[in-house]
């Protein structure tokens, strides 16, 4: 499944956050998105996941336009994590992941009221799947701990498990290694590789350029709302405009 932002612009009143940005996420690839603070990376994420309706351009999923509705995006297989961890703090880890599976669970209100056999089957299957995702990201599959009591690194993993539970075709990670030490960053790199190997395309926003250039198949550089450059890591790293605007010469 290919997710495309086609000439997307996003203006908040007079402030133009995104200006004519095009980005393609090919199937089963890891795409990096880098750029200085305030370049519009998270705004682009919000457009791609339906939280914002772009003021110009379109978001396409396999060539079909995607409505600006998060539920629609999630249902069509675009899920995400957040830059500042945003879990449901009072809910257990397992319940967090189950909310991530919301769009995939089929339960009528009446069957939920009565807890009939159909409901119990669907609930058991959902819990089974949620536990699998918890184990996949390296958390305890019981998931009984409230999200707010988990250590920082585990909270980041839990967000990823929650996003994965929605059966995404494209997973968007907003600074997944922010605040992590070297060891945790390596583990995150392995995890993102494993997600790609499951057949899921991954878009990563990061400031850690070493991390991005060693991980991604394709890198986009966003500067002040415009797509400055894109291409394979080697090309982008050598691009003089990128060096001047973002990487620096040292």
Partner 1 sequence: MTQVTTRPPEVRPVSDRRTWRPVAGAVVVLAGALLPWASVVLPAGAYPDLATLQFFDAPYLVTGFRLHLVLLGLAAALLPRARRSVGIGVLIIALVHTGFLIGYGALSIGGPVALVGGALVVWSGRALPAPELKLPGRAVAWLALLAAFAALLWLVTQTLTAGGQSRATNSYGAAEFLAFCGFGLALIGSLSAYGILTWLAALTERHRLFAFTVMLACALMLPLTEAGTGYWMTVAATIGIYAATATGLNIVVGLAGLLDLGYVAFLGLGAFTAANLAHTLPFPLAALAGAAAAGVFGVVVGAPTLRVRGDYLAIVTLAFGEIFFRAAQNNIGGLTGGANSIPGIPQITMFGQDFNEPLGALPAGFLYYVVAVLMVAGAVAVLLNLKSSRMGRAWRAIKEDEDVARAMGVRTGRAKILAFLVGAMLAGLAGAVFAHKMGTVGYESFDFSESVTLLAAVVLGGMGTVPGAIVGASLLFVLPEKLREFSDYRLMLFGLALILIMRFRPQGLVSS
**Which residues form the interface with partner 1 (CB under 8 A)?**
49, 51, 70-71, 73-75, 79-80, 82, 86-91, 95, 98-100, 102-103, 105, 107, 109, 112-115, 119, 123, 126, 162, 166
Nearest to 139 by CA among 118, 154, 153: 154
Nearest distance from residue 226's CB to partner 1, in Å? Answer: 26
* Concatenated DSSP letters of 82-144: -SS----TTSBHHHHHHHHTGGG----HHHHHHT-HHHHHHHHHHHHHHHHHHHHTTS-TT--
Nearest distance from residue 246's CB to partner 1, in Å? Answer: 28
Nearest distance from residue 45's CB to partner 1, in Å? Answer: 10
Nearest distance from residue 200's CB to partner 1, in Å? Answer: 16
Tokens of 19: 């200006």
CA distance 75 to 228: 31
Nearest distance from residue 91's CB to partner 1, in Å? Answer: 6
Nearest distance from residue 26's CB to partner 1, in Å? Answer: 24
Q: Between 1 and 245, name the residue whose CB sits nearer to partner 1.
A: 1
Q: How would you label 156-173 residue by residue, b for 16+ Cβ within 10 Å and e otherwise?
A: bbbbbbbbbbbebbbbbb
Please, are residues 134 and 162 in contact by the beta-carbon 8 Å criterion? Answer: no
Please, are residues 241 and 229 in contact by the beta-carbon 8 Å criterion? Answer: yes
Q: Between 83 and 245, name the residue whose CB sits nearer to partner 1.
A: 83
Q: Between 50 and 153, name the residue whose CB sits nearer to partner 1.
A: 50
Residue 142: C-alpha distances to residues 9, 25, 126 (Å): 43, 34, 13
Residue 30 burial (CB < 10 Å; 0-12/13-18/19+)? buried
Nearest distance from residue 176's CB to partner 1, in Å? Answer: 16
- CA R_g for the chain: 19
Q: Between 93 and 212, name the residue whose CB sits nearer to partner 1.
A: 93
């Amino acid at each position: 499944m290919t997710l495309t932002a086609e000439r997307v612009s996003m203006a908040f009143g007079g402030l133009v956050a995104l200006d004519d940005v095009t980005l393609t996420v090919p199937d089963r690839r890891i795409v990096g998105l880098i750029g200085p603070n305030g370049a519009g990376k998270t705004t682009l994420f919000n457009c791609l996941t339906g939280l914002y309706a772009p003021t110009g351009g379109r978001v396409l999923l396999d060539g079909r336009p995607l409505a600006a509705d998060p539920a629609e995006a999630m249902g069509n297989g675009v899920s995400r994590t957040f830059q500042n961890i945003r879990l449901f703090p009072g809910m257990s880890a397992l319940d967090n992941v189950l909310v991530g599976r919301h769009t995939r669970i089929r339960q009528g209100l009446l069957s939920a009221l009565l807890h009939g056999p159909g409901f119990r089957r669907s609930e058991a299957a959902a819990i089974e799947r949620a536990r699998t995702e918890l184990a996949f990201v390296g958390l305890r599959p019981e998931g009984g701990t409230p999200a707010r009591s988990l250590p920082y690194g585990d909270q980041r993993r839990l967000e990823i498990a929650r996003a994965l539970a929605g059966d995404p075709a494209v997973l968007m990670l907003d600074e997944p290694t922010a605040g992590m030490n070297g060891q945790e960053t390596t583990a995150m790199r392995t995890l993102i590789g494993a997600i790609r190997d499951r057949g899921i395309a991954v878009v990563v926003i990061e400031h850690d350029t070493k991390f991005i250039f060693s991980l991604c198949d394709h890198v986009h550089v966003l500067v002040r709302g415009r797509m400055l450059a894109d291409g394979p890591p080697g090309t982008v790293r050598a691009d003089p405009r990128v060096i001047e605007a973002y990487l620096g010469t040292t």
